Amino acid sequence: MSMAGAPRFSSSPWSPLVALAAFALPVIFVVVPLAIFLSYSFFSVDQGTIIHTLTLGNYVRFFTDPVFLPVFRNTVILCVSVAAICIVLAYPVAYFLTTLKGRWRYALLMLLLVPLLMSYVIKIYAVRSILGLNGFLNKALVALGILSEPSSLFVFNMNAILLTLTLLLIPFAILPIFLALERIPQVLLRASDDLGASPLQTFLRVTLPLSLPGVASAASFVFVLALGDFLTPQMVGGVSGFTFGRILYSQFGTAYNWPFGAALSVALALLVIGAILLGERFGRSRGAST
């Protein structure tokens, strides 16, 4: 049936149309908007109206103004830290999941993914009431006698953003690592064992290298999601946690400087594309070597 069906489908008079639609949709809904967006980054704004004359001014401003590059750098450092912490925390969890048998494995995995079903804003609100100076965390630490008075270490600063983003994004790190670990054939581990390797040796020389593609995609997922987030820094960052996303957001809201905002977005998009390519490449070369 399927053998007969395939050629008949491709020779149908509709097939060129279907093919056209398959190409047209991504072009219309992805490529064209991106192109418009890119072209905006070469416009400028005067007295609240957009001037449609091409200029490199926005990019020059990004590189020369003392405000943007330092914030950009700090934001990248922040997001790399978030990705690193997420990986460190997610790896043991994912590893533990793969050691479970049958139904338990997926039940626990589902439980870990449940937070993704919750509204993102509600989670930030919840985290914020946990972190406040009179929040749950400080109250608990003081009540347990660990702190003598509430600490402002995690109140409206970069640390708070780091912690919140890690909490929000950790499911995105667990999943790819879990999938990579699960794909490792058990026979390889048994072979390693048979050849006299200790469990630690097996982990370091078989499991870990084979799971690195998962780690790479987890890291790039988390990094990219953290980089694009402006709401978390806005809501828990206070006055010292100023990030690139917040600058970007302000260009579209209060400033009404879409062209400059577009240029800043292009800078961010280039970084994101770079991160994804890096994660992809790293993941694939490792995967291919097996």
Partner 1 sequence: MRLKKLFLSMVAAGLGVGLMASTALAENLRVLAWDGYADADWVKDFTAATGIGVDVVFIGSDDEIWAKIKGSEGQDFDVFAVNTAQLQRYIKADLVTPIDVDKLPNQKEVLPRFRDLTTVSGVTKDGKVYGIPFCFDSIGLIYNTDKVKPAPTSMSVLWDPAYKGKVLAYDNGEHNFSFTALTLGYKDPFNLTEEQMAAVKAKLVDLKRNVLSFYTTADEAQQIFQNNDVALIWANYGQQQVKALQKVGAHVAYVNPSEGALAWLDNWVISKGVHDKANAEKWINFVLSKKIGGELSERTGFGNTVVETGSAGSKDKLVWLNNVEDPLKRSDLWNEIKATP
Binding site for partner 1 (CB under 8 A): 45, 48, 67, 70-71, 125, 128-129, 131-135, 152, 155-156, 234-235, 237-240, 242, 246-247, 250, 254-257
Q: Nearest approach, Cβ of 41 to partner 1 (angstroms)?
A: 17
Bridge partners, 45 (sequence order): 50
Structure tokens at 129: 């009431």
**Cβ distance to partner 1 smaller for residue 154 or 178:** 154
Angle, CA of 287, 289 and 290, to the nearest 5°? 75
279 Rama sector, left if φ>0, alpha if ψ -120 to 50, beta otherwise: alpha
**Cβ distance to partner 1 smaller for residue 70 or 185:** 70
**Cβ distance to partner 1 smaller for residue 10 or 129:** 129
Q: Nearest approach, Cβ of 207 to partner 1 (angstroms)?
A: 43
Q: Nearest approach, Cβ of 85 to partner 1 (angstroms)?
A: 23
At residue 243, the 3 state secondary structure works out as coil
Q: Nearest approach, Cβ of 191 to partner 1 (angstroms)?
A: 55
- 118 touches 226 (CB < 8 A): no
Residue 51 backbone dihedrals phi, psi, to 5 degrees: -95, 120
Residue 286 CA to residue 290 CA, distance in Å, equals: 7
**Cβ distance to partner 1 smaller for residue 161 or 216:** 161
**Cβ distance to partner 1 smaller for residue 40 or 91:** 40
Name the maximum alpha-carbon separation found in the chain.
78
Buried b (16+ CB within 10 A) or exposed e, 240-252: ebbbbbbbbbbbe
Q: Nearest approach, Cβ of 286 to partner 1 (angstroms)?
A: 39
